[in-house]
Amino acid sequence: MTEHLQRPAPRNTIVRRSLISVATLVTLFHLFATFLWVAPASNLRLLFPGDTLTQYMIPMWGQSWSVFAPEPINGDYYFDVRAVVADEDGDEATTDWMRATDVELSRATYHLFPPRSAGLGIDVASTLKAEWDALSQEQSILVGDDYFEGKDPIRQMSADLAEIPSEDSNVEEYLTAERVATGYATQIARAVWGDDVVRVQYQASRKNVIPYADRNNPNAERPPIQPVHTGWRALEVRDRQSDVLFADYFCSAPLEVCADDR
């Protein structure tokens, strides 16, 4: 009687099965994480310690139901920037306003696979607008003042805001959004107008679409723009910020706004 010995599986088969197993586990993990992210908050999120779930989902995999009824996306966000530029003699001049969101969205126009960076300005504008709306009326008026003098103007703004009584204060959240917006505006200004920029001003705004009930009205007009009024700000340079890399990215957009020599 002849005995048949079982031959070991070829090495390439073992490698292939291992890769398939790893890919399956990664896919299952991603689907589970996405489910927890888009589902209503529950104790299941405790399976991810700390802010692990947020760190995994943002910025690459973030999703929400805001594109669907009953509350679909119903407005556009804009982020406008201007700057004060000093010449060799120290004389200062104010630039015109430049809409940064149009520059970034030009990367997504007519592109089947637009880059996620095309929505960067919209994210900055929407976050700042939301936090500004949550301020009290007195606080929202105060941030319209200029804060560009001194060692840390944002800290001075924080102290001034703290002096205004508010039952439900979101000052820290607003200041975080301010620093992000100022750092973003600083990079835009330097990319467009060069290294002689001495301070920046930006305006985040929202413009709602025509209400659904008026969609068939030929005379319907979009509601007026809702701006966030902020004053002049000192330049904000964030950690690991690269003006060179940002300028290469921003100035290579289809909508050209940078000087020819940059």
Nearest one of 84, 119, 120 to 201, comparing CA atoms: 84
Please report how many Cα atoms fall inside a 13 Å half-sphere around the Cα of residue 28, on the Cβ side: 6
Number of domains in the chain: 2
Is 53 among the domain residues? yes
Domain interval for residue 42: 11-57
Task: Please state the φ and ψ torsions of residue 212, each to the nearest 5 degrees.
Answer: -60, -35
Whether residue 87 sits in one domain with residue 50: no
CA angle 235, 241, 247 (to 5 degrees): 85
- Nearest-CA neighbor of 99 among 246, 250, 232, 260? 250
Is 67 domain-assigned? Answer: no
- The reported pLDDT for the residue numbered 9 is 58
Does residue 143 sit within a domain? yes
Got the DSSP string for 153-200? HHHHHHHHHHTS--TT--HHHHHHHHHHHHHHHHHHHHHHH-TTEEEE
> Are residues 88 and 46 both part of a single domain?
no
Domain membership of residue 70 (yes or no) is no
Instruction: Report the pLDDT value the prediction gives residue 71, as an integer from 0 to 100.
Output: 61
Cβ pair 92, 171 in contact under 8 A:
no
Query: Are 44 and 139 in the same domain?
Result: no
Domain-embedded: residue 95? yes
**Distance separating alpha carbons of residues 230 and 233, to the nearest angstrom:** 8
Whether residues 121 and 182 share a domain: the answer is: yes
CB proximity list for 206: less than 8 A, separation 6 or greater: 75, 76, 77, 78, 125, 126, 129, 225, 226
149 and 244: one domain? yes
In a domain, 22, yes or no: yes
Co-location of 110 and 187 in the same domain: yes
Domain shared by 32 and 141, yes or no: no
Same domain, 39 and 93: no
Per-residue confidence (pLDDT) for residue 139, from 0 to 100: 92
Q: Measuring CA to CA, which residue among 117, 88, 121 is closest to residue 195?
A: 88
Q: What is the pLDDT along the chain (262 residues), one digit of tens a residue?
A: 455 555 665 667 888 888 999 999 999 999 998 888 888 778 888 888 888 888 888 767 776 666 565 566 788 999 999 999 998 888 999 999 999 999 999 998 888 888 878 888 999 999 999 999 999 999 999 999 999 988 889 889 999 998 888 777 788 999 999 999 999 999 999 999 999 999 999 999 999 988 888 888 999 999 899 999 999 999 998 878 888 999 999 999 999 888 765 5
| Residue 157 domain flag | yes
pLDDT at 152: 85
Are residues 123 and 33 part of one domain?
A: no
Query: Is 136 inside any structural domain?
Result: yes
Rounded to an integer, what distance in angstroms lies between the CA atom of residue 260 and that of residue 71? 43
Q: Do 138 and 109 fall within a single domain?
A: yes
pLDDT of residue 231: 95
Quote the CA–CA distance of 108 and 242 in Å, as a whole number: 23
Does residue 240 sit in the same domain as residue 179? yes
| Whether residue 47 sits in one domain with residue 129 | no
